[in-house]
A and B are shown apart, each in its own frame.
Chain A
Amino acid sequence: MTDQTQTGGAVGSYTENTSLGFRVRSVFLKHEWLRGYTLLSPTLLVMICLMCVPIFMLVAYSFWTQNYLDIDKTFTFANYEAFFQKPIYVALMMKSIRMSLFCTAVTLVLAYPMAYFIAFKVKSNKLVWLILITVPFWTSYLLRVFAWKVILGYNGVINSGLISLGLLSEPLQFLLYNPTAVVLTLAHAWAAFAILPIYVSLEKIDRSLLEAATDLGDTPTERFWRVTWPLSMPGMVAAGLLVFIPTVGDYVTPRLVGGTTGIMIGNIVQSQFGKANNWPMGAALSVISMILITILVVTFITSTTRARAKSA
């Protein structure tokens, strides 16, 4: 029924094939990429409106200044100057980056054997292992961080547990509210993000390469360092970035388990939009963080690709 009416319509428009609709249609049929982009356009539009425009606005804000309740919209570098003049900002930025790097290293070292295990050792229930690894990642970030506060607290799980076991006479003070607690909590929270890319790169390795290495006389250890490890580098790089970038700006974990010594740049940015109420300064701080992160990431990627090219 509908088919007939459609063909009727088509025949009708065929007689006046110069109509705009027909021309648009034939252009679409001729160019596959045009159809693809049309299908993609709603998503791209939403992403541009919700990501590019706001970030552009954020950058604009960073060149303005807060004038009590108003925003003074004259272009100025005042916020950026303030960043470099106040040693606290620079120090905190460097500390955040150091803590994130350390956290990333811990996460990767812990994740690698696990990813290796799933990729090479698990024969039948890979899916179950993958799901077991992934699921905690999707459950509430806030609650996972909060759990660590409960565990590490002065009267928390570890202290009270050890005391009731008689192993401790008074609570340990050093568990909570320090950078180590932040690193531990972040490493726990981002574990799944690190395992999956490493797993994928290990899974992709052609098993015949490993056999070839063995046949040519490599010991298992040599084979690991000469074949498996270099081939899993892309996964390690991806995992490192996926952990490093989001953790630099985190403010929830430092706030809940970091105390005064564990605060990171994210906490300062957040306070500029809260108590301190200096939005342009907060915007400038986050722009500086993004630039620094980008520089670090780009140097890291170029240096690893260069190293890989050299070894190959």
Chain B
Amino acid sequence: MTDTTEDTPKKKKAMSMTAEAAAADERGSQDAGFVQSKHAGHHWSGEAPMFIYAVWYLAFLYIPVMFLPLFSFNDSIYVAFPLKGFTLQWYGDMVDNPALLRALENSVKVGFGVAMASTFLGMFAAKAMTRYYMPGKGPITSFIMLPLVIPGIVLGIALLVISNTMGMSLSLWTIAAAHTLIGVPFAMLVMVSRLEGFDRNLEEASLDLGEGVVQTFLRITLPLAWPGILASVLLTFTISFDEFILAFFLAGNEVTLPIYIWSQLRFPNRLPMVLSLGACVLVFSFFIVTFSEVMRRRGVGPQGGAAI
């Protein structure tokens, strides 16, 4: 245990320092690899540095967050090496905490509502985008994608300002509205790649054979698109479940889990409990998103779903 964790900081440092250099000389060698593999079958030597870099990169992505689960089992209130011993105490604290459970319940409620609303809206938008000839499709797509590139803080305060002007008090509803705004673009992306993936002649055949629009949608489109729908529901749920920046501005008395975590960061003695909670959230999100990604990319091809 200690062995692997001890060499990670070094690895990371080495990586960030050599990354640029590695990137530079890999370009040369890897292009050579491309030619070699074309002419002489599998030639691994030219690709090895590239592969090592890729593994480093994954380590850079994953190892930092792995420290949260690691220290959540550590029998000490300080997050420091050497590890003191194994304990489940912090997980016990977590379960006994009514405020936390309340926040969890709120997060699930909001996440579920957001998943339904954004998938519903995203699906209709995607259907319109992929099936109908419409002038101005490009600008409309960019418009729907806008929430992804507007800084979160701007959306957050804009929604705060509008709810204040309209005399709406902040609640879980305001959080859900904000999360739906950022959920729709992702839902639409997922659904567009799914709907583009199947033969639209099937829908036309159904219409030609006398089914109505609604029947066709229920009997052809929906069954074929359901992996995309499921992926979108799971993805938008997780986006909402983990979202902090917007929720921070729009939360009233009822808070969601990330807001709760933020409020606990001020108390050093609650740090271990935050770690165990964080570990649970990470593992949970990880599995849901992995499942969702597998769903959405299955049978779509490596390019289709890769836009985001």
Contact = CB atoms under 8 A, between A and B. Distances in A.
19 contacts: A33-B133, A33-B135, A40-B124, A51-B181, A57-B165, A58-B154, A116-B30, A117-B50, A117-B53, A131-B290, A139-B281, A141-B244, A151-B64, A153-B79, A161-B5, A220-B31, A221-B27, A252-B245, A283-B157
B297 A131 contact: yes
Contacts of A68: none
Interface string A139-172: 1111110111011010111111111110000000
Contact of A142 (B30, B78, B129, B258): B258
B134 A36 contact: yes
Interface residues of A, number: 105
Given A50-B177, A140-B278, A140-B281, A148 B64 contact: yes
B127 A39 contact: yes
Interface of B: 5-6, 9, 16, 19-20, 22-23, 26-28, 30-35, 38, 47, 50-51, 53-54, 57-58, 60-62, 64-65, 67-68, 71, 78-82, 121-122, 124-125, 127-129, 131-135, 140, 143-144, 146-155, 157-162, 164-165, 177-178, 180-181, 184, 188, 210, 212, 235, 238-239, 242-245, 249, 258, 261-262, 265, 274-275, 278, 281-282, 285-286, 289-290, 293-294, 297, 302-303, 306-308
Interface string A227-255: 01000000000000110011011111000
Given A39-B132, A136-B65, A250 B151 contact: yes
A44 B140 contact: yes
Nearest to B281: A140
Contact of B157 (A58, A197, A200, A228): A58
B146 A51 contact: yes
Contacts of B150: 51, 55, 245, 290
A179 B142 CA distance: 33
A191 B15 CA distance: 15
B61 A136 contact: yes
A135 B61 CA distance: 10
Contact of A127 (B31, B65, B285, B302): B302
Contacts of A153: 79
Nearest to A225: B27
B282 to A, nearest CB: 5
Given A51-B155, A51-B158, A117-B51, 7 more contacts: A40-B134, A43-B144, A120-B30, A136-B61, A139-B289, A146-B265, A293-B151
Interface stretch (A11-19, A76-84, A87-95, A107-115): A107-115
A297 to B, nearest CB: 9
Contact of A134 (B32, B155, B258, B293): B293
Contacts of B34: 120, 210, 220
Contacts of B133: 32-33, 36
B35 A140 contact: no
A250 B248 CA distance: 13
Contacts of A109: 19-20, 23
A200 B193 CA distance: 14
Contacts of B188: 43
A30 interface: no
A47 B184 contact: yes
B65 A132 contact: no
A67 interface: no
A220 B9 contact: no
Contact of A249 (B143, B147, B154, B210): B154
Contact of A286 (B131, B153, B286): B153
Among B148, B262, B302, B303, residue most surrounded by chain A Cβ atoms (within 10 Å): B302
Given A57-B158, A224-B31, A279-B161, A139 B65 contact: yes
Contacts of B125: 39-40, 43-44
A196 interface: yes
B9 to A, nearest CB: 5
A61 interface: yes
Contacts of A220: 28, 31-32, 34-35
A65 interface: no
Given A47-B181, A131-B297, A40 B140 contact: yes
A70 to B, nearest CB: 12
A214 B37 CA distance: 13
Contacts of A8: none
Nearest to B212: A6
Nearest to A53: B162
A245 B153 CA distance: 11
A138 B81 CA distance: 29
| Residue of A112, A114, A283 most packed against chain B (CB within 10 A) | A114
